Amino acid sequence: MTRLAAGKRWSGSASLFGPSMFMNACEYIPVLGWVDYKGFEKKLVDLQRRRDEFLQGLIDEHRNIRTGNSSCAEKRKTMVEALLLLQKAEPEYYTDYIIKGIVVLLFTAGTHTSALTMEWAMSLMLNHPEVLEKARKEIDSNIQPGHLLEDSDLAKVPYLRCIITETLRLFPVAPLLLPHLSSEDCVIEGYDIPRGTMLLVNAWAIQRDPNVWEDATMFKPERFEGTEAGREGFKFIPFGMGRRACPGAALAIRLVGLVLGTFIQCFEWERVGPELIDLEEGSGLTVPKDFLRAIERILNIKQYASSIRAKEIGFFTEQLFNLRPQKSGYFFMLSPNTMIKLVSGNRYFNGEELVLDKHGKLDDK
CATH-assigned architecture of domain 112-266? Orthogonal Bundle (1.10)
How far, in Å, CA of 260 to CA of 268, rounded?
Answer: 13
The reported pLDDT for the residue numbered 100 is: 93
The reported pLDDT for the residue numbered 283 is: 65
In this predicted structure, the answer to whether residue 233 has a pLDDT above a threshold of 80 is no
Half-sphere exposure of 161 (CA within 13 A, CB side): 18
The reported pLDDT for the residue numbered 214 is: 93
Residues in binding site for heme? 246
pLDDT in tens, 136-189: 999 999 998 888 999 999 999 999 999 999 999 999 988 988 888 889 999 988
**Average pLDDT estimate for 312-339:** 34
Residues in binding site? 246
- Domain ranges in the chain with CATH number 1.10.630.10: 112-266
The reported pLDDT for the residue numbered 21 is: 53
State percent of the chain over pLDDT 90: 36
Give the least confident one: 95-104, 109-118, 131-140, 251-260: 109-118
Give the least confident one: 91-105, 324-338, 346-360: 324-338
The reported pLDDT for the residue numbered 65 is: 82
pLDDT confidence band for 19 (50 / 70 / 90): low
Distances (CA, A) of 38 to 34, 42, 44, 234, 331: 11, 9, 11, 39, 21
Give the highest mean pLDDT range of 13-22, 101-110, 297-306.
101-110
pLDDT in tens, 105-148: 888 888 888 988 999 999 999 999 999 999 999 999 999 888 89
